[in-house]
Amino acid sequence: MRLKCTIAALNLAVALVRQTAGEIGSGQTPPSPDPQPIEVIELPLPSVAPTDDEGSCTPELNPHRTGCMGRESVLFSGNFLPDSKHVLAFLNFTGAPAFPDSASIYTGSQLIIVKIDGTTFPGSDPWKCITCGVPDENQRGSNEGWDYPEAFKDGKRVLVGSNIVDCGAADLASSECTPEKIHVYPIRLNNKADGPGPGGSTRELRIHPDDYCYFSWLEFNPSPSSGLPVTPRYDLLNVTRLHRPANPHVIVAEGSEIRINSDALIVGELHGFRKIRRLTSHPEYVDPVDISPDDIWSVVMVARGTDRQMWLSAMRDIPSLTDLVSVSAVASTWNNVDGDSFNQGLLTVMKLNTAGDGNLGSINHPEWNERADRKWSSDETRIAYSQELTLPPDCGGQNPLPYPNSTANGGRVVRLMLAHLTNRRPLHLEPVETHSEVITWGKQYQPGDLDPERSLLPAGVYTLLGKFSGFAAVEIISNDAESAIHTVAVGYKNFLTIESTPSEAVRKSQTTRSFTTVHVDWYSDLTSTGQSSGAKKTSLFGFHLDIDIMKNMFNANDTLTTTIDGHV
């Protein structure tokens, strides 16, 4: 069982990358695969209620009396049921009539499944609410937050937030699976050395500022004798932290020298398991990936080709030293809103979302932003994803731009999409073997263990030697509490790594204003010549940037200009 380990999925993407034998970045970039036809359609969702008022979801809006969603409802698309014919989604119902009307159950955040083939469930809806009307006694002790739905391979259970939705012996898509048969079981981590108490959820592991990934055995406990909640639940057993303290860091200090380990590996955001190999080297951001069931393809959200980040992206062959203070701000510049929505327009090997005439309802309209995790169907013929329309005040501030008015059903600002790779034959893969309980290279988690702190580069003045000649003088300054790096200043002198020579200086300081808000002061006067020539220059008074990594509202003063091979 894999656990998600980040606070917010920064996501969206839409390129297919094929894994081949060549090592990218080693001069053996593999050729692009032949283009494949891709047909993209929008999947049906519930009708839209005009307001959140009780009863605003009228029988005229939904004659089947199976609920309405809100115009600005959240929408998380999940993966497919194992039949590859249903997509999971999590959304908000609203406007339900009052109890005892049978439609009163269609309210609040719920898990639904949507048919992808144009057929309907009994009752004539193309979707079915799985969690609407589940009796309270079937969901005792369940955890808040039902996001990122992910179906089990048995078609009967779904991981949602830190809970398992379970229909017992019935398939979720079958008419035998009724609300009375559904249970929502909490997932519990025994996180205290003395055992009892409420324990933790996967969410608690996620929320730690030093995110780590964990691997765990998930076991149903029908009648717990200790620990809260004392209700049927899933326990996390044999927990491994995917971290090897002895592994080298990317940037390490040895005496007065700094060394860069470009092969250092740190598990960041876990998106499945495969051999670790770098796949892309373009400086613009790439995140997240879903690896295809046969391990050959990845569907990835990529900024490359949009030029959205080139003005502040890295220059080739310049060591990533000042990233120590700017990485979260830079990574956040590709998002639009609440940490999980991005402008589309991506490319790598095969673009997914290019069809259409650019009009507002079309597949390729640039104001329909990609949301988190797109997912492969288990037969590898389809990919599901969701999108969100740009909303005010994202187009406001000092630069007001017209914002689009949705042409979707009911003016809804979210949509569920399905890409069909029409010339692929459905894959039938052998079931995956059960993994052993622990991952031997990781660290066994014991109840009560605290996450190890990621070691900080100590404050000081260092030298980083060029691979062939020259050096960089590096100064690291800690914040007052000595809990984080505040400033990194680097001056280069004839620094020769490959065939590029940076010179002059760059200095960046970061002030963390809250857990998620950072302010970066950036002073750069950097040029490099050789195989790849470029410059990164801030204006006379530097460049100053504020960003909340959860909201991604970007505010900056003064200018920063990056020039690569003569292009600004």
Ligand X SMILES: *[C@@H]1O[C@H](CO)[C@@H](O)[C@H](O)[C@H]1NC(C)=O
Q: Which is nearer to ligand X, 22 or 195 (CB)?
A: 195
- ∠ CA 262-263-266, rounded to 5°: 105
Question: Encoding tokens for residue 424?
Answer: 């692929």
Pairwise CA distance, residues 384 & 219, whole Å:
29
Q: Which is nearer to ligand X, 211 or 546 (CB)?
A: 546
Shortest distance in whole angstroms from residue 52 CB to ligand X? 8
**b or e along 62-76 (b: 16 or more beta carbons within 10 Å of the residue's beta carbon)?**
beebbbbbbbbbbbb
Q: Which is nearer to ligand X, 338 or 482 (CB)?
A: 338
Residue 274 burial by Cβ neighbours in a 10 Å radius (0-12, 13-18, 19+): exposed
Q: Which is nearer to ligand X, 502 or 542 (CB)?
A: 542
- ∠ CA 193-199-204, rounded to 5°: 110
Shortest distance in whole angstroms from residue 493 CB to ligand X? 31
Shortest distance in whole angstroms from residue 548 CB to ligand X? 12
Contacting positions for ligand X (CB under 6 A): 70, 72-74, 92, 108-109, 237-238, 402, 404-405, 437-438, 544-546, 555-557
DSSP, res 140: T
DSSP, res 142: P
Shortest distance in whole angstroms from residue 151 CB to ligand X? 22
Q: Which is nearer to ligand X, 395 or 477 (CB)?
A: 395
Shortest distance in whole angstroms from residue 508 CB to ligand X? 14
Shortest distance in whole angstroms from residue 419 CB to ligand X? 26
Closest CB to ligand X: residue number:
108
Shortest distance in whole angstroms from residue 403 CB to ligand X? 6
- Cα 369 to chain centroid distance, Å, stands at 14
469-472: long-range pairs with CB below 8 Å, 24+: 469/494, 469/495, 469/496, 470/494, 470/495, 470/496, 470/501, 471/495, 472/319, 472/321
Pairwise CA distance, residues 293 & 401, whole Å:
42
Q: Which is nearer to ligand X, 109 or 524 (CB)?
A: 109
Pairwise CA distance, residues 323 & 314, whole Å:
9
> In the chain, how many H helices and how many E strands?
2, 32
Pairwise CA distance, residues 247 & 263, whole Å:
10
Q: Which is nearer to ligand X, 438 or 456 (CB)?
A: 438
Q: Which is nearer to ligand X, 147 or 373 (CB)?
A: 147
Shortest distance in whole angstroms from residue 389 CB to ligand X? 11
